[in-house]
Structure 1
């Protein structure tokens, strides 16, 4: 009996050593392929430079879905576009803005997403500023004066220098003074707009209904040259966003009585409701094909830049991981599935649609890894409230080279995410879904939803490290003998000490933008 026991123990040890050696071979192959044959720069160029920004409902969004499918198919990976809804279609044309009086200057700016078009050839008109009126009654009396004019509705900025510039070069007194003045100006401008009785959406509509020929904004991101570019709420006339420099100049000219005029030629067109998709690709599993390890990144973007760090970097990361695994691990134990989601920016719609449309898959998802917030190397992983996530994520991370993981901060079990990016859609459904959160590289000010979110801001060394980490984690999740634990910890409200609730699943908006359809003139 003792001999049999020793023989059995020896056999188990031999099998264990063999499995570890096999794992290390695949891991070494992942690292070698990622370092020596990276396709990240090519993918980024084709997506960002070749296709451009990917606003839901635009031709570029559709091109991006089709390009992604074709790229996967070229690598021998099955892929398809899966329709989940419809969205207001819009096609951006050229934007050209010139100051005509009191002197001539071409201004830096663009039309906001879904902005109505200028008349053919553009239109020249005087610029005025939303005045500081007594109340909404005074606002209604003032409204007729906007007819035939462009109206500026954003607060002017006292300085175009970011805070770190003031901290480096200014005195402590001057820095404190500018912060106090800026806060006072922002409070005063908020009070000015609130007295109109309108909000951020209804104010532009009231102006265009009163005959304004356009609305002028400036949403400075507090980084040099960066403005946030979101959507227009006007339905008949263009809304343009100007750089802080040019907006401030126009504002000062108006306030000093110089009556500046600008010529705006912002061309765009409505294209009706357009189908919206998720792009789904898979490497079919061999032993457990009905169990899944998922990758996740949203494909859509806003229209300010080309969506490089939000979320071109996450998109090319997940494509590169799939390419690497197809080459070095072509017959995974479980099916490897990737979702490139549409309309994340309008409320996680693509991923929420996938969760709602595939309830039969949710229990069979081993784990999901999502990446969204920028180009930096992965720096933080939360257990999202899954009690045993420390055990399996810890084991898998241990297989990643130390130079990649040494600065990663983890929080276990953590709390479930309730918004922000696509892993949340799956966490709400009880799927162990983890966001691979990256270093900021000043993401919040320089690139997040700004005109500067472009190819040149990508840090390919960091993305390459992320590809190695993610591919190894996917490989280990596929090879895991059993499904991981999905036991959840209900989060506690730190203010009361009482348990709260697990985030609930939310349905996507499947027909979007229709309330803002352009009204015929």
Structure 2
């Protein structure tokens, strides 16, 4: 385990003496790691010899698929998780905390019909309205405008057309490909051109007087046949797939390669026409929920150690690495703990959160609804940034986190522990994933942050977030790590400290950083 010493930045002078404790602490931790612990050994043995991750992944990713909030697949996944926990002898419950706009994706066909026939790679965005029949229409590119008045004068021209509102990318190759093969001069030129084009396109959007969020609605009201985007994720064959802002006409994302072809044909005056048929169903308000599993504590049942991962996903792919792998890490850790550590001293809980993708809503609702658990939370461990093995744990601004996390990590096998960099006390996370919902109210929540595996470009919210991107050896690593940390947190005779570090000065404002404020859950979403 590597330790990054950032305490001087965050602590006041009266706390500087605590720095001296850290080297001795981890030296002692390394020595103690040599002491055999039968529970730790059994955790490693169970995951090594009897891992259930592969069948769980196949059932969840291939069988059920993505878990967009408000869809039947999310509901089906919740029932699947309850049955899995029941089969393992673990008590689990379905906690409804609100409702969401229900929607079900149907069949999509996107084809260019002139100047030649070609099926296009594309995806209707989440919550895109369904079509009663296929529509064939010409494509038109959002032009440049001097101002919003010019835009309003042009707006009638969209009637009956498919409007393209994303810029033409200058390259479909990721930067690492350019780094490997291009001359420096060529790469620099491409980057300069791309920056100029990006800035110009942003100005093109802003000159309409609208934003990327409000523009599709204006086009829809003006009679556009549909809206076409291409939200490239800077990798080969990969786009981000989010939600639609239209209510009556379809919004589809077309892959960079096909979008570029359409754009160039349209720009050159070839007047291509495309045929779109996208089916979907509106399901009204449907329940949105968390799945909460529990292994009751024997000595301190009213103190809690939590495992945490969001259950929902976007639905361009299968939601495999965001956050299927985090979900399976926590399920597998719970299965192992029930088998090898069935009588924990503290109560073990697992939270599978709904609607994280729309603003951490499930975990925020849990924090609001269960103050008694939050007040007695020993620790929470959350995993949510891809399939990679855990390589970083930050103290999230808790002054003494180096103490208890350091002690618990000392029991982790060296081949896992030595890959992890720690950063104490770190800074409190204000968002990004569900641990932040707990940090905001001063409860010790920590992110088990993973190695990248090109997560940001290739699988985070993309059409390529699928089973085949899972690296099972790394997920096994994370299941073992999580189970051991939970075991150690349950056994620790001391209750964790919630003392906060003195936060540093923000160099942009010159003011002291503040602890993140609690944000309320959106309990009735998707109807805006």
Give the alignment's TM-score, normalised by structure 2.
0.92
**Superposition map of 1:262-273 within 5 A:** 262-273=274-285
Alpha-carbon offset, residue 283 of structure 1: 0.6
Q: Secondary structure at the match of 2:37?
A: helix
- Residue 48 of structure 1 is matched in structure 2 by 61
- Cα shift readout 1:327-352 (whole Å, capped 9, x = no counterpart): 00011111100000000000000000
Alpha-carbon offset, residue 82 of structure 1: 0.2
- Cα shift readout 1:8-52 (whole Å, capped 9, x = no counterpart): xxxxxxxxxxx9999701110000001000001111111111111
Maintained 8 Å contact 1:309/1:458: yes
Picking from 321, 327, 331, the partner of 1:315 is 327
Residue 339 of structure 1 pairs with residue 332 of structure 2: no
Q: Secondary structure at the match of 1:264?
A: strand
What CA distance in whole angstroms lies between the structure 1 residues aligned with 2:246 and 2:447? 36
**Superposition map of 1:111-150 within 5 A:** 111-120=124-133, 122-150=134-162
**Superposition map of 1:212-251 within 5 A:** 212-251=224-263
What CA distance in whole angstroms lies between the structure 1 residues aligned with 2:193 and 2:440? 43
What CA distance in whole angstroms lies between the structure 2 residues aligned with 1:246 and 1:230? 19
Q: Which ranges in structure 2 are unaligned for 5 or more consecutive residues?
A: 1-31
What CA distance in whole angstroms lies between the structure 2 residues aligned with 1:20 and 1:106? 58
Q: Secondary structure at the match of 1:269?
A: strand
Alpha-carbon offset, residue 133 of structure 1: 2.3
Maintained 8 Å contact 2:33/2:411: no
Residue 107 of structure 1 pairs with residue 132 of structure 2: no
What CA distance in whole angstroms lies between the structure 1 residues aligned with 2:57 and 2:151? 48
- Residue 294 of structure 2 is matched in structure 1 by 282
Alpha-carbon offset, residue 119 of structure 1: 2.5
Picking from 421, 429, 442, the partner of 2:454 is 442
Over 3 Å counting, the alpha-carbon distance change for 1:480 and 1:129 in structure 2 is same
- Residue 43 of structure 2 is matched in structure 1 by 30
What CA distance in whole angstroms lies between the structure 2 residues aligned with 1:506 and 1:127? 42
- Residue 94 of structure 1 is matched in structure 2 by 107
- Residue 75 of structure 2 is matched in structure 1 by 62
Maintained 8 Å contact 2:105/2:279: yes
Picking from 441, 458, 464, the partner of 1:429 is 441
What CA distance in whole angstroms lies between the structure 2 residues aligned with 1:23 and 1:331? 20
- Residue 172 of structure 1 is matched in structure 2 by 184
Q: Secondary structure at the match of 1:514?
A: coil
**Superposition map of 1:340-379 within 5 A:** 340-379=352-391
What CA distance in whole angstroms lies between the structure 2 residues aligned with 1:387 and 1:133? 53
Picking from 98, 119, 124, the partner of 1:85 is 98
- Residue 513 of structure 1 is matched in structure 2 by 526
Picking from 415, 418, 428, the partner of 2:430 is 418
Residue 503 of structure 1 pairs with residue 516 of structure 2: yes
Alpha-carbon offset, residue 201 of structure 1: 1.6
Maintained 8 Å contact 2:232/2:255: yes
Residue 302 of structure 1 pairs with residue 304 of structure 2: no
- Cα shift readout 1:273-302 (whole Å, capped 9, x = no counterpart): 111000000011111111110000000000
Over 3 Å counting, the alpha-carbon distance change for 1:21 and 1:222 in structure 2 is closer
Maintained 8 Å contact 1:289/1:333: yes
What CA distance in whole angstroms lies between the structure 2 residues aligned with 1:298 and 1:180? 38
What CA distance in whole angstroms lies between the structure 2 residues aligned with 1:507 and 1:338? 21
Over 3 Å counting, the alpha-carbon distance change for 1:371 and 1:327 in structure 2 is same
Picking from 470, 485, 490, the partner of 1:478 is 490
Over 3 Å counting, the alpha-carbon distance change for 1:265 and 1:417 in structure 2 is same
Maintained 8 Å contact 2:33/2:412: no
Maintained 8 Å contact 2:33/2:410: no
What CA distance in whole angstroms lies between the structure 1 residues aligned with 2:285 and 2:334? 32
Aligned length: 496
- Residue 265 of structure 2 is matched in structure 1 by 253
Alpha-carbon offset, residue 170 of structure 1: 0.8
| 4+ runs deviating over 6 angstroms | 19-23
Maintained 8 Å contact 1:429/1:505: yes
Q: Secondary structure at the match of 1:399?
A: coil
Alpha-carbon offset, residue 427 of structure 1: 0.7
Of stretches 216-225 and 189-198 in structure 1, the one that deviates more from structure 2 is 189-198
Picking from 380, 390, 394, the partner of 1:382 is 394
What CA distance in whole angstroms lies between the structure 2 residues aligned with 1:135 and 1:505? 39
Q: Secondary structure at the match of 1:268?
A: strand
Alpha-carbon offset, residue 485 of structure 1: 1.3
What CA distance in whole angstroms lies between the structure 1 residues aligned with 2:310 and 2:171? 35
Maintained 8 Å contact 1:490/1:501: no
Q: Secondary structure at the match of 1:354?
A: helix
Of stretches 474-483 and 498-507 in structure 1, the one that deviates more from structure 2 is 498-507
What CA distance in whole angstroms lies between the structure 1 residues aligned with 2:494 and 2:406? 16
Q: Which ranges in structure 1 are unaligned for 5 or more consecutive residues?
A: 1-18, 516-521
